[in-house]
Structure 1
Amino acid sequence: MIIGLAGTAVALALAGRRVLFLYAIARGGQPDPERVLQVRRDPKSDVEDQVTEVFGQRKLLKWTVAGLAHAAVMWAFILLITVYLEAAVALLFGLDEHIPGLQTWGPIGFVQDTIALACAAGLLTFTAIRIKNSPRRIGRDSRFKGSHLSGAWITLFMIFNVIWTMFFFRGVEWASGNLDYGKGAYFSYAVGHLFDGMSHDTLEVLESVGLLLHIAVALVFLVFVVHSKHLHIFLAPLNVMFKRRPDGLGAAQPMMSGGKPLDFEEADPDEDVFGRGKIEDFTWKGFLDMATCTECGRCQSQCPAWNTGKPLSPKMVILELRDHALAKAPYFTASEEARERFTDEQKLDMQVDKELVGENGVIHPDVLWSCTNCGACVEQCPVDIEHIDHILDMRRFQVMIESSFPSEAGVMLKNLENKGNPWGMSETKRLDWVGELDFEVEVVEEKLPEDTEYLFWVGCAGALEDRAKKTTKAVAELLHIAGVRFAVLGPMEACTGDPARRLGMEFVFQMLGQQNVETLNEAGAKKIVATCPHCFNTLANEYPQIGGNYEVVHHTQLLAHLVEEGRLTPVTPIEENITYHDPCFLGRHNKVYKQPRDIMATVPGVRTQEMHRHKDRGFCCGAGGARMWMEERIGKRINTERVDEALETDPDTVSTACPFCLVMLGDAINEKKNSGEAKESLEVVDVSQLLIRSIKGEGGSAPAKEAVAAE
């Protein structure tokens, strides 16, 4: 008992000291009151998240084998607490003492032994996965590339020690007559037979040794856990509790300073926080994200930048920030007086003067600017880390304070400020597409006509980019055929500001957003349909931050509804093999996966085949995060990688539902045609173009397309 209690006291003291250090780091971060308020406003959602995400292991089970192994280990941690309760009773009150009911009911022993064996099977599975995916063997193709590998192996070893010491202790306990589960604890019962024939004194010594070993392993493991990535055992439920809770990835967060939205008119660069320029600018939730990362590499394995040879790994961004935070914490958590006493050598060790973003900084600029904001990392993260928010906040500081960003993006920003669109074209050209239709389109002058059902938000690409204009005309014609009364803003429409916001230039986003909200409110807009997922996401999820609250639908949602109602009826077969590319801002960001596929399913003759990465695992086209207006100089082009995946399905047509994807995939397909890797008839079209072809009797087949292409 003395040995056990002394060991427990030492272990708890060491673990407690570490916990207090980590708590001090969190307290050193910026406030984020909304995280706490959302839990108070909607405790039901938190309970649901804990049930599904933490206990149900929803995200982990998307990867079935690894998910089942993790579920077994996680539930072993929970259920085997009862075994440690028994060990505590034996330690404090004697080896032959028991808790009535708990330590005498056979089914409890059965559950304990079963989950322990399942945990052992999980450990073997993890061992096999780590050997198979070792970075030494497969390099950057391993999702564990960059992870702290030694910590993972130590953890597996420590969990194994928990299991074998448990069965050793309980086996001896059964042999000495102190295990009252009978044959319910079947494996402990089997182990107990190994000690048949030993004397009572020998068994008592072995039982004491087994008990102390079992407790010692747990105490050593506790100290190790709070000093390692496996702190997620305790922090994951907290991170899930305080995560953002949109349906999908939702809006980019507004710029915050001191826990309040930043007012640009009254902001002081010397007092207010503009994004994240140093580690202590992160909020406590940011530090919680860093501490919760399990280094599993699921985010890395799905990242389009990492998969095309770029330096960005969402996992490594979090780990590098975490390592820097731990190094600098003694400085930024200290008082001003204490900081003055640190020597230059100590400050060097604490990375006090190290840039957060820079050539020799914590995060290299190429890492920061490789992100497409596709959301694959956030979607896959089993502990709900918000990688995009952190990357965006670091971009904001670089753009707004340091004026450091890719030069070609500067042209886009100037065009947005001066012309209201990224291409710098005249606003009068926003209605050119209307003249190519054989019916009139209502253009708003001041107010929407009362019988207008939808304001059609055309978007910059839909109005000004030749390939995207085909989608705009197809949607307008479909709405006309279905008898939907709609109107457009024409020259009064300006860019929603999405490219500026995703680049990090929040000021330009606010300027454009407030201008558009004022226009929409004065026009009396209530229901909006948009063809661009970026516009759709901004109007629906981000404009409420600046006073714009509208019912916004994507054109695929509206068209699918009109087809379901019978107001649009595709009749002419399109005998083609079609693969659909999920736009990130429509799919992962807003969970619209079904409707585009429903539209294709109603077109006679269409044969659909999914790419191996689709829906929530879909692969980006490379245009998001303002990458549409930046050169891609490192590694393989993301759009080329995606088209290579599309070509594996041997498609006659690639379909999508986003003008950016249309452009990016189209460019890559043209490159493939020039190199002879794709047939000349292959094209990329919006799903609305497929629908209008079938409705208007312009169907056809792949051979017919090939004949036209040959001519």
Structure 2
Amino acid sequence: MLWVAVIGLVMTVAAVAVAGRRALFLFKLATVGPPAPERIEYAKAHAGDEAKAQLVEVFGQKKLLKWTPSGVAHFFVMWAFFILLTVYIEAYGAIIQGAITGTPDFHIPLIGTWGVLGFLQDFIAVACLLGLVAFAAIRIKNSPGKLGRDSRFSGSHLGGAWLVLFMIFNIIWTLFLARGAAAANGNFPYSSGAFASLALGDVLPQNALLEEIALLLHIGFMLVFLVIVVHSKHLHIFTAPLNVLFSRRPDGLGAAVEMRVDGKPVDFEDEDLDPERLGRGKIGDTTWKGFLDFYSCTECGRCQSQCPAWNTDKPLSPKMLILDQRDHAFKVAPYLMAADQDQHKDTDVLALLEKPLVGEDGVIHPDVLWSCTNCGACVEQCPVDIEHIDHILDMRRYQVMVESSFPSEAGVMVKNLENKGNPWGMSEMKRADWIEELDFEVELVDEKMPEDTEYLFWVGCAGALEDRAKKTTKAVAELLHIAGVKFAVLGPMEACTGDPARRLGMEYLFNMLAQQNIETLNEAGVKKIVATCPHCFNTLANEYPQLGGTYEVVHHTQLLAKLVDEGLLTPVTPIEEKITYHDPCFLGRHNKVYSQPRDIMSKVPGVQTQEMHRHKDRGFCCGAGGARMWMEERIGKRINTERVDEALTTNPDTVSTACPFCMVMLGDAINEKKNNGEAKESLEVVDVAQLLIKSVKTPT
């Protein structure tokens, strides 16, 4: 056994040295960019939440198990790595003990002969083999060669995936060979439990050389696999737990990532602020958390399969957005990591460095960047917590604020926000016109909130100025009045929350609008806010605290559902209609409000609800988020048309939603369908509040 020990030791040292060298390279590359101290500070301050995330997402595989077949297969393969660590303790122990005593009958102290451990080792190894078969079947069934763009593996490095599956297979069969040979020779620590190994031991010959060769083969395949892992996409085995640890909580949705320079929140009043540092203009501007995203991508394509842009033939694939940056980073790594950058002046690396991060000939094409609706489907589905939207926003910020490069029609929206405080450029005095159409008084805030007023009703730009959205505004106001909820509105004192500006990448304008609104709200003494627009709701609740504006914010569907439950609103008039509900992305995925709109509809007599195929956390975007509301959609199929096509498969009488942007986008698509004779003339889009007020008010 001495020769086995020598060869095993040499192989181990060599493999660990190669893997360690690669790990050091990856660490140095990840830390070339700006720091992200907020990630570490948050993880320290919320250790309990992070521990729970590790248990649920890493060990429990919660996100992966949403996709049942592949999720179950991955669960068993991953747990095989954990449980079979005990086999490697046994293997190295056997080598060492065999070299010393000549008899490789090592077992782990205390638990090493326990039949339960032997059973677990064999069970998980067999389950791992079945998982490999499932993975192979899934990859063959969803091959890009068969499905093309419809395959979630389209664009992935397919050869590397098959190599890894082959290597894991080699590890498992050599594991059983080594354990079976040990059992045949009487060197196996388990007399029961290890069903597969003991069965093999019964059929294999007693042969010491076979046991030694099998042991070396098993360790050799494991070490080669280690080297392959740190040089491939399967690096996520090590980096995914770290990426989960340092990801934003509860997830990378809700608030847009705060813009930072040198790890500190950007201060636009700082005279020394270098404009070139705004956003991400080159790969070296990526923080180590961004590099962790690159390293952790499994190329599984779940994000791609759910992306509304990709599903309507646009160039954006969230997966390729990450992979293209990662591949570029690896190519220019020698330059990025060089202490003396001139040492690479005669290499091909410098040619790559001239390639812009975003551009017609850049790493990321502008059409990729501007196709994103910020819907969050990619972040929601990513099993390793990659924050795709954060990457997109950082690149947009540089393009908008430094390069002044963005879709021209969005420029009109920016000017309107700057000059009039709303995207349509209408006079702020029109913000209260809708009140005149009501038959009761709505209080306007005059410097201070009126006494005994519980909520500030944040009407929003669309709710005050867009005709279709004003119907929702009036319905909510009337429902609150009927329920006896005292509220007031800001009227002309209200300005856009800044969501369109921030999602476009115009962080400076967002900052200006937000600070203006926060000052107004704080001076008025506002504590509780109800908003009808999910974009306003999300910005007020999740983003204003970044600038010191902290309020209790609810969406109108949350408040109305509560009022119905409390008996303050009672739906009585039947609405005999078949209704399908569209989940607004910024209400659903971004803020996890799924049940309340459905609860309201379920309480309305006569309503028959029918879910679309894609709903709740897999709901499909209307196409308006990410400031896309103010950009023309010129590539592929229109997203709102795709969504309405899906809605029509339920044969609805009405499409309901809870967002003014969604009402506009879905309404426009339905009108187009009506003109083409593809939808019935009576079909309309309404807000949930409009359904409720129709049922609450008894016909006269």
Q: TM-score range by the shorter chain?
A: over 0.9
Distance 2:356 2:272 in 1: 21
1:94-123 deviation per Cα after TM superposition (whole angstroms, max 9, x unaligned): 123333443322111111000000001100
Query: Which position in structure 2 is the counterpart of 1:280?
Result: 284
2:137 equivalent among 93, 104, 128 = 128
Superposition deviation, residue 696 in structure 1 = 1.1
Superposition deviation, residue 206 in structure 1 = 0.5
For the residue of structure 1 that corresponds to 2:530, the secondary structure is strand
Question: 665-674 or 244-253, which moves further after superposition?
Answer: 244-253
2:245 equivalent among 241, 251, 254 = 241
Query: Which position in structure 1 is the counterpart of 2:64?
Result: 60
Report matched runs for 1:118-517 at 5 Å: 118-195=127-204, 198=205, 200=206, 203-246=207-250, 249-266=253-270, 268=272, 270=274, 273-335=277-339, 338-348=340-350, 351-517=352-518
Q: Amino acid of the residue matched to residue 119 of structure 1?
A: C
Cα contact 1:248–1:591 (8 A) shared by 2: no
Superposition deviation, residue 272 in structure 1 = 6.2
Query: Which position in structure 2 is the counterpart of 1:707?
Result: none
Query: Which position in structure 2 is the counterpart of 1:702?
Result: none
Q: How many corresponding residue pairs?
A: 691
For the residue of structure 1 that corresponds to 2:553, the secondary structure is strand
Report matched runs for 1:637-652 at 5 Å: 637-652=638-653
Superposition deviation, residue 268 in structure 1 = 4.2
Cα contact 2:416–2:424 (8 A) shared by 1: yes
Cα contact 1:247–1:590 (8 A) shared by 2: no
Cα contact 2:655–2:684 (8 A) shared by 1: yes
Query: Which position in structure 1 is the counterpart of 2:101?
Result: none
1:559 correspondence with 2:560: yes
Query: Which position in structure 2 is the counterpart of 1:534?
Result: 535
Cα contact 1:248–1:588 (8 A) shared by 2: no
Distance 1:121 1:332 in 2: 43
Query: Which position in structure 1 is the counterpart of 2:16?
Result: 12
1:327-376 deviation per Cα after TM superposition (whole angstroms, max 9, x unaligned): 112111111xx211213333346x22110000110000000000000000
Report matched runs for 1:516-595 at 5 Å: 516-595=517-596
TM-score by length of 2: 0.97
Distance 1:186 1:214 in 2: 19
Distance 1:648 1:678 in 2: 11
Distance 1:269 1:478 in 2: 49
1:141-186 deviation per Cα after TM superposition (whole angstroms, max 9, x unaligned): 0000001111110110011011100001111111111113123111
Cα contact 2:500–2:626 (8 A) shared by 1: yes
Report matched runs for 1:623-638 at 5 Å: 623-638=624-639
1:71 correspondence with 2:72: no
For the residue of structure 1 that corresponds to 2:353, the secondary structure is coil
Distance 1:27 1:55 in 2: 27
Cα contact 1:420–1:427 (8 A) shared by 2: yes
For the residue of structure 1 that corresponds to 2:105, the secondary structure is coil
Distance 2:114 2:365 in 1: 59
1:33 correspondence with 2:34: no
For the residue of structure 1 that corresponds to 2:277, the secondary structure is coil
Query: Which position in structure 1 is the counterpart of 2:692?
Result: 691
Superposition deviation, residue 496 in structure 1 = 0.4
Q: Which runs of 5+ in 2 are unaligned?
A: 99-103
Superposition deviation, residue 574 in structure 1 = 0.4
Distance 2:182 2:431 in 1: 82
Distance 2:276 2:51 in 1: 35
Distance 1:56 1:468 in 2: 43
Distance 2:658 2:336 in 1: 47
For the residue of structure 1 that corresponds to 2:456, the secondary structure is strand
Distance 1:516 1:333 in 2: 44
Cα contact 1:399–1:505 (8 A) shared by 2: yes
Query: Which position in structure 2 is the counterpart of 1:102?
Result: 111
Cα contact 1:247–1:591 (8 A) shared by 2: no
1:528-572 deviation per Cα after TM superposition (whole angstroms, max 9, x unaligned): 100000000001111111121111100000000110111000001
Q: Amino acid of the residue matched to residue 137 of structure 2?
A: A
Q: Taking structure 1 as reference, are residues 434 and 363 closer, same or farther at Cα in structure 2, changes over 3 Å only?
A: same
For the residue of structure 1 that corresponds to 2:394, the secondary structure is helix
Report matched runs for 1:602-681 at 5 Å: 602-681=603-682
Distance 1:526 1:123 in 2: 55
Superposition deviation, residue 248 in structure 1 = 7.3
Cα contact 1:496–1:512 (8 A) shared by 2: yes
Distance 1:470 1:18 in 2: 60
Query: Which position in structure 2 is the counterpart of 1:48?
Result: 52
Distance 2:93 2:17 in 1: 22
Question: 92-101 or 676-685, which moves further after superposition?
Answer: 92-101
Q: Amino acid of the residue matched to residue 133 of structure 1?
A: N
Cα contact 1:651–1:682 (8 A) shared by 2: yes
The percentage of aligned residue pairs carrying the same residue is 74
Q: Amino acid of the residue matched to residue 126 of structure 2?
A: L
Distance 1:248 1:216 in 2: 40
Q: Which runs of 5+ in 1 are unaligned?
A: 700-711
Distance 1:238 1:183 in 2: 38
Question: 428-437 or 629-638, which moves further after superposition?
Answer: 428-437
